[in-house]
Amino acid sequence: MLWTIISAMGAFLVTNIDDIFVLMLLFSQTGKVIKSKDIVLGQYLGFSLLVLLSLLGTFGVMMIPKQWVGLLGLVPIYLGIKLFIKGEEEDDNAIISSLNSGKFNTLFLSVAFITFANGGDNIGIYVPFFTTLTMSELIITVITFLIMVGIWCFLGFRLAAFRHVSEILERYGRWIIPIVFIGLGLYILIENHTFKAIWNLL
């Protein structure tokens, strides 16, 4: 159980490090554009949608032999390599524009949309990761994720007052995230014995 929680925390962290910058930006706008409760509620709604889609994708691939499911590990490896080459760019102005655009009638829905759109890579990581878990481990993982969302909101709120912290994360984050993505992809390939299956075909 402890290893499941640690793994869940690791998967959450590597897929949401970039999201902490968005949260910091949103919390820095409290009292001007948005309220803190809207940020928290929107974050939970947007992230829950990402997890739900990941679960649906996971159950969909469970009918495939386990060793070939491991090929999904190529997705985080691809994302890691892509980040190494190009890096990730966050357009802060676009986020604020989305909040002020009037596209959504409720501010927390605007935050939910931003969270969902900013987490496009999450599904590519969570689906192959979820396939390595038993049902009980999957439940523990989802609960851990939901707890981490609350912690993430709190950190975003606290860090909004310390801009130098975000500068450090921005400087080294684009190297840390790709390495962890690639490591996670290799773990998924190994855990599902995919290398062995490929070797047997050769």
Residues 6+ apart with CB under 8 A from 75: 124, 125, 127, 128, 185
Domain ranges of the chain: 19-27+36-201
Bridge partners, residue 34, by sequence: 30
pTM above 0.75, yes or no: no
State yes or no: pLDDT of 38 exceeds 80.
yes
Higher pLDDT, 181 or 183: 183
Higher pLDDT, 122 or 32: 122
Cα 165 to Cα 23, 91, 170, 180: the distances in Å are 13, 18, 9, 21
Express each pLDDT in 100-148 by its tens digit: 554 445 677 777 877 776 666 687 788 888 888 888 999 999 999 999 9
- Nearest CA to 122 among 199, 5, 4, 13? 13
Secondary structure, 3-state, 87-149: CCCCCHHHHHHHHHCCCCCCHHHHHHHHHHHHCHHHHHHHHHHHCCCCHHHHHHHHHHHHHHH
Using a pLDDT cut of 90, give the percent of the chain over it. 15
Length of the chain: 202
Instruction: Determine the pLDDT at residue 91.
Output: 46
Higher pLDDT, 58 or 191: 58
Express each pLDDT in 63-96 by its tens digit: 666 666 667 678 778 777 876 776 555 444 544 5
